[in-house]
Structure 1
Amino acid sequence: MDWKPDRNDEKPIYKQIADYIEQGISSGVFPADSRLPSERNLARDLGVNRSTIVSAYDELVALGIVERKKGSGTRVSTDIWGTFHKRIPNWGRYVEDGSFLPNSPLVQQIRSEVQNRDLVNLASGELSPRLMPNVQLSNILSANPFTENLGYDHPQGNEMLRATISSHVKQFKNIKTNPASILITSGAQQALHLIVECLLKPGDAVAIEDPSYCYSLPLFQSAGLRTFRLPVDKDGINPDDLLSLHKKHRIRMVFLNPDYQNPTGTVLHLSQRKRILDISVELGIPIIEDDPYSLTSYNGEVNPTLKSMDANGNILYISSLSKIVASGLRIGWIIGPEQVIQRLADAKQQVDFGHSVFPQWIANQFLNSADFSDHIDRLRSQLELRNYAITTSLKKQMGDKIEFITPKGGIHLLGKIDPSIDEYQLLKESIKNGVAFVPGSILGSKRGYMRFTFGRSEPDEIQKGIARFAEAVKRITNH
């Protein structure tokens, strides 16, 4: 046979062989009741071990499309298209062939491990339940009878909530907009997905920060986009790097997280914000500003968002209540030109017929209440305490073996250790020792980094977790 398995493919060779034979059976290359090559001969022809062929044939037997008969070898089922033959779909192949890619196995492993109640969770990017305004939200439900229509709402989201968000971003972030320019989404993740699917096409070049949580998202690869990295330092990205990328690759869109960036915790310098806006206007490149954290500044001062400085409509602005109120509320929004918002709303309606009415109602009530400002003040002070707990613990437990920039807001800190340390081995040892973090290579191109998220755990748990992390480092370095 002319076909050979691809040894550079991530799919195991035995699965490639099984898929090839299954396709041959479906197309008639291997007719019903025909004898397949012997395991030994097929192994020789394909240049693989006989055990590989055995595994491939075992998979086909399990699917019910081939049969092993003593004395006559492996044959295609005689009743493969018969009315009495029951075939099991090759679900493994369906799962692998889907166009939307899964998270990396390591990301899936971390998410599975953090369900362990004995683990100090410094990996999950969410708030502690104690930082969520549960009492205030319960009071809203008790004091305000819900009388809204539970049918489908406006494609862009509830009009009252959009009007409230328009006022909210004007008051807290100096962003001037109107309800027609706002789309309610299921958090920032859906907002990013809609933008990628609706405004870009396969082969387009986009720029993302390095490191960035966007680096870990399969949605860019699923959409067939080419991603190029913008290095992040203590002041954010360098606008000249964006110019260089555009000259080489014709960048179509830029994704930025300017305030208390995930994972570095850094803030994009004001002068660099202005220069990036100038480049956007000069070259006509849209900027996607993802802003989940700006209201968490520990000193209460909110930096000018790119959108508040945008006089030309070049910025699509994403924010949500996930990182400042409650992740489970699933309320996010996009602000942008009306024609873009309408396009994204049309796509969202095709997916879910618009956002759920009930959480929109709760969000509207809370944003309009005096409780919101009180909650933000408390959130800032509590996050600052957790920030102090993690920075002091790292200095005490690790000394000069770790480097980091102390965040002034947000919930993330990026630590740098000896790059010769295998971060996956370190994660494995850390989980074994009772603490989880996110290896930096999931979020960027450089080795020797790890992200600690301190919004999920209490200060005493954070101290315990860093002590466990330091012990794991000692174990794998033997000192």
Structure 2
Amino acid sequence: MLNIDWKPDRNSPTQLYLQIAGYIKNKIACGEWLVGTKLPSQRTLSEVFGVNRSTIVAAMEELAAEGVIEGNSGGGTVIINNTWTLCPMERTYNWNNYISSGVHQTNQTIVQQINQAEFDPGIIRLGSCEPSDALVPCGMIQKILKKMTLSGKSLGYEEPRGTLHLRKELCKYLSTLGIAAEPSSVLITSGALQALQLISLGLLHSNSVVYLEKPSYLYSLRTFQSFGMQLSGIPLDEEGINIQELFARHRRKRGAMLFSIPTFHNPTGNVMSPERRKILIDKCGLERLPVIEDDVYREIWFDEQPPMPLKAFDKNGLVLYIGGMSKNMSPGLRIGWIVGSEQVIARLADIKMQTDYGSSSLSQYVAAEMLASGLYTEHNKMMRKNVRKRRDAALAALNRYFKGIASWNTPAGGYFIWLRLNNAISMHQLFIKALKNKILIHPGDLYEYHSNQNIRISYSNASLDEIDFGIKVLSKLVIEQLK
């Protein structure tokens, strides 16, 4: 999707359609939009530029008359000229063949729109899965940075697995979760997403089958698909993944790994029961099926601590345990970790050194000091209290505005409410209309193909007033579509 962060000036004496045509020509002339690129539909352009469709038609006719674009039946409108009339002195290089042949797949258009809207300062973010700035412990981090300055700490490269100080502190923390680990079996990553990328690069091969819960946030990522792997969704209920279905499918076609979010599942908020965790790990041991456990939301619990991680039940070294500090402390630190067998960790550490030569030493120092000083525990207590207020505000708003038209879960932790409408609607239309009203949501089809009744509501980023207002506006948009 082309990046458009501009709108025509309605106070300018230049007609709107000429402003739009000029903007597009400038993008082409500068080499930002390449020959052969397909322009968005007229409907999409009218929404992005905030003008009537007739204005877009006039702009397209202007560009076509100048020989800049060309439309064809079924193929849309394509850029065909970037030199003769636009920049006669120089010829910009055509990168299209390289762009289309790259290994990593392009994000879905809607994911690109979400990523761009995340940074709109006027938007109410009911889709974000990260804490708001108000929840980030800036004071604690500043205290640690001041200590680091006084100590004269070096900021050079760290060893491949990550700083030993941080890995030792993590092992102490993991022991409180029932996970026995040595520093040599821990790899520090730049967030949990990098952990998945390293596993894809180092342990899986093209055409591998990866099992996962259905729905799952992994469907909205390109991490596994870009390396030619297949995702196989397994249904889940209130207690977790359907073990019988998982292994019936596994016997038909041997999969490579299971990816699971057993604690405060994204997007449903489910928590796998202790009994099912034990059965799952025992069965995976018998069938020799490795597990990737994503446990990044663990510390965001409200009334009681969640069950021990799958890794705590693992006696055979089958579980690769992924954790991190982005969701409950600070996304900008980019600190995550993988816990696994020493052989696997050595392999992934080698790949990590080939890709980024180690995670930020500054971030690792902050994370280690947060754990060692007890500030991490202190922060998590405050975090749970503040996030619970946001969850309660979201549930109250849903009771006010969605009663009778939808049902939803009451999350025991994490950031998500999985809203299910009583009747199906166009999720794309709802997303676009909500965005026009400065409300950012995640439609359910990001997490399950063709889902047209679900919306993932996140309460982690918006303020209490924004949560109420955003859900109120969203309900009106849903009701309009149901009529």
Instruction: Answer yes or no: same fold by TM over 0.5.
Output: yes
Residue 154 of structure 2 corresponds to 149
Residue 328 of structure 2 corresponds to 324
2:469 aligns with one of 464, 467, 476? 464
Identity %, equivalent residues: 33
Letter in 1 for 2:195: A
**Distance of aligned partners of 1:51 and 1:438 in 2 relative to their CA distance in 1, 3 Å threshold:** closer
Question: Match of 1:399, SS?
Answer: coil
Residue 34 of structure 1 corresponds to none
Q: Is the 2:420–2:453 Cα contact (8 Å) retained in structure 1?
A: yes
Residue 67 of structure 2 corresponds to none
Letter in 1 for 2:193: Q
Q: Distance in 2 between matches of 1:51 and 1:216?
A: 31
Residue 108 of structure 2 corresponds to 104
Deviations 1:85-117 (Å, cap 9, x if unpaired)? 976432233222211012111011122223222
Deviations 1:265-311 (Å, cap 9, x if unpaired)? 01012221112111211111100000011111102423110011111
Letter in 1 for 2:302: Y
Residue 370 of structure 1 corresponds to 374
Q: Distance in 2 between matches of 1:112 and 1:125?
A: 15
Work out whether 1:182 is the aligned partner of 2:200. no
Letter in 2 for 1:174: G
Q: Is the 2:37–2:78 Cα contact (8 Å) retained in structure 1?
A: no
1:314 aligns with one of 288, 313, 318? 318
Q: Distance in 1 between matches of 2:462 and 2:224?
A: 31
Residue 294 of structure 1 corresponds to 298
Q: Distance in 2 between matches of 1:298 and 1:57?
A: 52
Deviation at 1:414, TM superposition (A): 0.9
**Distance of aligned partners of 1:310 and 1:397 in 2 relative to their CA distance in 1, 3 Å threshold:** same
Q: Is the 2:291–2:318 Cα contact (8 Å) retained in structure 1?
A: yes
Work out whether 1:349 is the aligned partner of 2:366. no
Letter in 2 for 1:212: S
Q: Distance in 2 between matches of 1:440 and 1:226?
A: 20
Bigger mean CA offset, 175-184 vs 246-255: 246-255
Letter in 2 for 1:475: E
Work out whether 1:113 is the aligned partner of 2:97. no
Residue 437 of structure 1 corresponds to 441
Q: Distance in 2 between matches of 1:452 and 1:146?
A: 44
Residue 423 of structure 1 corresponds to 427
Residue 416 of structure 2 corresponds to 412
**Distance of aligned partners of 1:141 and 1:250 in 2 relative to their CA distance in 1, 3 Å threshold:** same
Q: Distance in 2 between matches of 1:130 and 1:57?
A: 44
Q: Is the 2:36–2:96 Cα contact (8 Å) retained in structure 1?
A: no
Q: Is the 2:214–2:233 Cα contact (8 Å) retained in structure 1?
A: yes
1:217 aligns with one of 221, 237, 240? 221
Question: Match of 1:451, SS?
Answer: strand
Question: Match of 2:262, SS?
Answer: coil
Deviation at 1:234, TM superposition (A): 1.8
Question: Match of 2:127, SS?
Answer: coil
Residue 278 of structure 2 corresponds to 274
Letter in 2 for 1:393: A
Residue 164 of structure 1 corresponds to 169
Q: Is the 1:394–1:466 Cα contact (8 Å) retained in structure 2?
A: yes
Q: Distance in 1 between matches of 2:104 and 2:179?
A: 34
Q: Distance in 2 between matches of 1:390 and 1:51?
A: 46
Letter in 2 for 1:185: T
Q: Distance in 2 between matches of 1:135 and 1:397?
A: 37
User: Mapping of 1:195-274 within 5 angstroms?
Assistant: 195-274=199-278
User: Mapping of 1:359-398 within 5 angstroms?
Assistant: 359-398=363-402
Residue 10 of structure 1 corresponds to none
Question: Match of 1:177, SS?
Answer: coil
Question: Match of 1:426, SS?
Answer: helix
Q: Distance in 2 between matches of 1:418 and 1:110?
A: 25
Question: Match of 1:251, SS?
Answer: coil
Q: Distance in 2 between matches of 1:59 and 1:381?
A: 53
Q: Distance in 2 between matches of 1:214 and 1:148?
A: 38
Q: Is the 1:63–1:89 Cα contact (8 Å) retained in structure 2?
A: no
User: Which has the larger Rg?
Assistant: 1
**Distance of aligned partners of 1:323 and 1:58 in 2 relative to their CA distance in 1, 3 Å threshold:** closer
Q: Is the 1:15–1:56 Cα contact (8 Å) retained in structure 2?
A: no
Question: Match of 2:256, SS?
Answer: strand
Deviation at 1:147, TM superposition (A): 2.7
Question: Match of 2:106, SS?
Answer: coil
Q: Distance in 2 between matches of 1:296 and 1:390?
A: 16
Q: Distance in 1 between matches of 2:77 and 2:234?
A: 47
Bigger mean CA offset, 399-408 vs 134-143: 134-143
**Distance of aligned partners of 1:125 and 1:332 in 2 relative to their CA distance in 1, 3 Å threshold:** same
Letter in 1 for 2:166: L
Letter in 2 for 1:325: M
Question: Match of 1:267, SS?
Answer: coil
Question: Match of 1:301, SS?
Answer: coil
Deviation at 1:420, TM superposition (A): 2.5
Work out whether 1:126 is the aligned partner of 2:130. yes
Residue 30 of structure 2 corresponds to none
Unaligned runs of 5+ in 1: 1-13, 18-49, 68-84
CA RMSD after TM alignment? 2.3
Letter in 2 for 1:356: S
Q: Is the 2:263–2:306 Cα contact (8 Å) retained in structure 1?
A: no
Q: Distance in 2 between matches of 1:395 and 1:248?
A: 44
Deviation at 1:215, TM superposition (A): 0.9
Deviation at 1:61, TM superposition (A): 5.3
2:458 aligns with one of 442, 453, 456? 453
Question: Match of 1:279, SS?
Answer: helix
Residue 36 of structure 1 corresponds to none
Bigger mean CA offset, 181-190 vs 395-404: 395-404
Q: Is the 1:322–1:330 Cα contact (8 Å) retained in structure 2?
A: yes
Q: Distance in 2 between matches of 1:87 and 1:244?
A: 58
Q: Distance in 2 between matches of 1:427 and 1:234?
A: 27
